[in-house]
Structures are given as structure tokens and as C-alpha cells.
């Protein structure tokens, strides 16, 4: 084990509640606490650098949530960005929703800065004759788990890249897991849990009662949302959004309707670790768990880190 060098935080009072908080990769400890400052450090096991980074980022989150701001390091110590509120492990994995706010007209849930940007984009779309509707936004862990179990059990359909239904009876458990992950995230590992992602449709282009499928046929040439996606191609970057699944890179199939708010989702992605996902899945009532657990490092690389970043091109 080794110690990450401690961070020093200017504090208005001694109300600091981070002592001995446990993480999948170690634990945080208060080293010094006064009415003006607090020094904290993280004790780490032998883990990859991304886990060490996540630990330091989480320390910054603890300090900010305790009213300690800004977070700044002692001279020569690790620097932790303090631009955005960091998510705690329960928020990051969708097990609580304390980081999101519920909105009406239209109905969706997101982090406030994400909602502000989306509503501004929605107003510009309205002036272009588009009714930009958030078809799916924040999705909690239980919902993601329900989607997974429904697909693993065969109660929900599995699709190929072109949106055709797969023959469930012909698939092995490994095939089923692969098919699920091509379209749906691992419970605990979904970007929708962060409150930074919104799947969009155009309410002005469909008839009353139409149920969106969120499949390729809707966004391809002649599809009901073709015009919407031409507009999105030209406008999402202006409002800070990008398409993490713009094209297929060996992980998720393309989802051009899936928009991500870069300023908040990029820090969240850096916080996710295989260790955290493993800890969450072990406690979940998830079908296929015994098969999935050894695959988590591979799933992490192929389906969570493997995205189209901002500015990498359109769909």
C-alpha cells in the first residue's frame, strides 16, 4: 500500500464528514482538521493509475460537498480540478439520484447544468420547427438492472446492428451478454446514471401515439427522425453536447440519438473503475452475474471507455 499525497482545503468551519470513508480501491482518512483547514489522504492498494486518479477526484468531491471550496493541493502535491461537482459512488452508479433534478415540460431528469444547456438547445430547435423531446434521460440502477434482466432472460428482444431481432434460442450465455452490451450498458456502468446523457426524438415529426424504437431505421435516409439528426449534426456542439456512440468501434452499436454533455460526462467517465463496477455487480440481483464478473475489465475497456469523443466527427 502507498499514500497519495494529501490535499489541503480552505474550510469555513470544522464540519467535515469524510473521515474513513471506504472505497473499492482503498479508504480516505482525515489527517488534520482545524477551523480553517483539513488535510486528507487516500490509502491505496496496488491498483491502476485510473483508480488513483478516481480516488483523488473523489477527495475533491468530498471537500466540495462539505462546503470546502476551492480544493487546492499543497505545493508539489497532486492537483485535482475543481471545475465541476464530482459524483459519489452511489450517484455514479445510479443507486441514488441526489445529483439530478426532475423537470417538467418536457419531462426529464438531469444535472442542472446539463438541463440548462439542453433547454437552450431545445429552444433553438423549436425555432427550426423541431420539437426536441428527451425520450430518455437519467436512468437509475434499478431501471438499468431491469433492462438487463429482461434481455438476459429473453423477455425483451435482442437486436443486431441493423435493428433486426436476434434468435434468442440460438445464443449462448456469452453471446447473450455480448448482444445486450451492444445496445445496453452494464448496470452500474451506464452513462445515463450520471445525469449527463439524453436520448432525443422529434415530437413534431411523428403522429400522435407513435412509439419511438430508437433503432437505425428511424434515423437513416427516409426515417422519421432523419431531419432531426441533420439538425443535430450542425448544432449540438454549440451547446456542449456530443455523440459518444456516433459510430461503431467494437463496443456499443451506433446511437446517434444519444447526446452527452461533455463538461459533466467527461469527469464522470474518469471516475468509473473496474473495481467499482465489480463491487456493485457482486451485490446486485443480476442474471448472468457469475459469467459477467470475470469479464468486467474487458467490458470496461470495450464498452465504457470505448467512445467517440467530442469533435471526432458526426454519425
pLDDT digits (tens, 9 = 90+) for 118-135: 999 999 999 999 999 999
pLDDT digits (tens, 9 = 90+) for 194-220: 999 999 999 999 999 999 999 999 999
Residue with cell 473521515: 19
Spatial CB neighbours of 177, under 8 Å, sequence gap ≥ 6: 152, 288, 291, 292, 295
pLDDT > 90? residue 305: yes
More confident residue, 75 or 305: 305
Residue with cell 450520471: 194
- This prediction's pTM: 0.74
Query: Out of 37-41, 141-145, 182-186, 299-303, which region has the weakest mean confidence (pLDDT)?
Result: 37-41
Q: Where are the alpha helices (DSSP H) in 153-245?
A: 173-183, 216-219, 226-235
- Domains recognised in the chain with CATH numbers: 2-85 (no CATH), 91-304 (3.30.1380.10)
Amino acid at each position: 500500500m502507498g499514500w497519495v499525497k494529501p490535499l489541503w482545503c480552505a474550510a469555513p468551519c470544522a464540519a467535515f464528514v469524510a473521515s474513513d470513508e471506504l472505497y473499492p480501491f482503498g479508504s480516505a482518512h482525515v489527517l488534520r482538521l482545524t477551523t480553517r483547514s483539513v488535510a486528507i489522504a487516500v490509502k491505496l492498494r496496488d491498483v491502476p493509475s485510473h483508480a488513483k486518479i478516481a480516488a483523488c477526484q473523489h477527495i475533491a468531491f468530498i471537500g466540495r460537498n462539505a462546503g470546502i471550496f476551492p480544493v487546492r493541493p499543497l505545493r508539489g502535491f497532486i492537483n485535482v480540478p475543481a471545475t465541476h461537482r464530482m459524483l459519489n459512488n452511489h450517484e455514479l452508479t445510479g443507486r441514488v439520484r441526489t445529483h439530478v433534478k426532475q423537470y417538467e415540460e418536457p419531462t426529464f431528469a438531469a444535472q442542472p447544468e446539463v438541463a440548462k444547456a439542453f433547454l437552450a438547445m431545445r429552444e433553438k430547435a423549436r425555432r427550426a420547427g423541431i420539437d426536441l423531446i428527451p425520450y430518455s434521460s437519467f436512468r437509475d440502477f434499478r431501471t438499468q438492472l431491469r433492462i438487463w434482466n429482461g434481455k438476459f432472460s429473453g423477455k425483451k428482444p435482442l437486436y443486431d446492428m441493423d435493428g433486426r431481432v436476434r434468435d434468442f434460442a440460438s445464443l449462448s450465455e456469452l453471446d447473450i451478454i455480448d448482444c445486450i452490451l451492444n445496445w445496453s450498458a452494464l448496470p452500474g456502468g451506464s452513462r445515463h446514471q450520471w445525469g449527463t446523457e439524453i436520448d432525443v426524438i422529434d415530437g413534431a415529426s411523428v403522429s400522435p401515439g407513435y412509439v419511438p424504437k430508437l433503432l437505425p431505421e428511424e434515423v437513416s435516409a427516409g426515417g422519421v427522425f432523419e431531419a432531426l439528426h441533420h439538425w443535430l449534426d450542425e448544432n449540438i456542439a454549440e451547446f456542449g453536447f456530443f455523440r459518444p456512440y456516433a459510430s461503431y468501434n467494437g463496443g456499443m452499436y451506433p446511437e446517434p440519438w444519444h447526446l452527452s454533455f461533455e463538461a459533466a460526462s467527461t469527469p464522470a467517465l474518469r471516475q468509473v473503475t473496474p473495481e467499482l463496477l465489480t463491487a456493485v455487480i457482486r451485490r446486485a440481483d443480476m442474471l448472468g452475474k457469475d459469467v459477467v464478473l470475470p469479464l468486467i475489465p474487458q467490458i470496461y475497456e470495450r464498452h465504457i471507455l470505448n467512445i467517440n469523443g467530442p469533435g471526432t466527427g458526426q454519425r
